[in-house]
Amino acid sequence: MTLTKVSKGFDDLTPHEMYEMLRLRSDVFVVEQNCVFLDLDNKDQKCHHLLLYNEQALVAYARLVPQGVSYPNIMSIGRIVTSSEVRGTGLGKHLMEIAIAECYTLFGTGSIKIGAQLYAKKFYNAFGFVQSSEVYDEDGIDHIEMIKA
């Protein structure tokens, strides 16, 4: 797999990148997970977007969220997603490593908070995230908040 990283602010995304980003998020979060939710939450315009391509295909994405957008005084990573074609290849781990490093580059050092699907808790533990909330339901899926100090 030959990966190309694209990291851009909202206004710098091309129409094609925007479409691919929204399509991947919809394919996974709405169709695969059978979850009806409002993905377009008016946060994208304030965020940085990390896209990983394998040749011409978008295979992974994460939304890098500055302090004050999702959580007061703390940056965040959200909409973490890999396409079904690349799951099990280690790309999710690579995506998180890049996303964490990009957050520090873009927003400075500090804690990072995520809202994680409960089943992925061990995955995020491997990057230093620890559970910081009780389990809560979000759109019919169990979630927890986690923080990387």
Residue-wise DSSP of 52-81 = EEETTEEEEEEEEE-TTTSBTTBEEEEEEE
Cβ-contact 48, 64 below 8 angstroms: yes
pLDDT given for residue 142 in this prediction: 94
Q: Is the dihedral of CA 4, 114, 141, 132 positive or negative?
A: positive
φ and ψ at residue 81, rounded to 5 degrees: -150, 145
pLDDT given for residue 32 in this prediction: 86
Calculate what percentage of the chain has a pLDDT beyond 90. Answer: 88
Overall average pLDDT of the 16-30 stretch: 94
Domains along the chain with CATH numbers: 3-148 (3.40.630.30)
Average pLDDT, the chain: 95
- Confidence class for position 34, pLDDT limits 50, 70, 90: confident
Alpha carbons 90 and 64: distance in angstroms, whole number: 20
Overall average pLDDT of the 108-135 stretch: 96
Alpha carbons 67 and 65: distance in angstroms, whole number: 7
Instruction: Tabulate helix, strand, coil % of the chain (nearest 5).
Output: 35, 35, 30
pLDDT given for residue 38 in this prediction: 76
Overall average pLDDT of the 30-58 stretch: 90
The reported pTM is 0.94
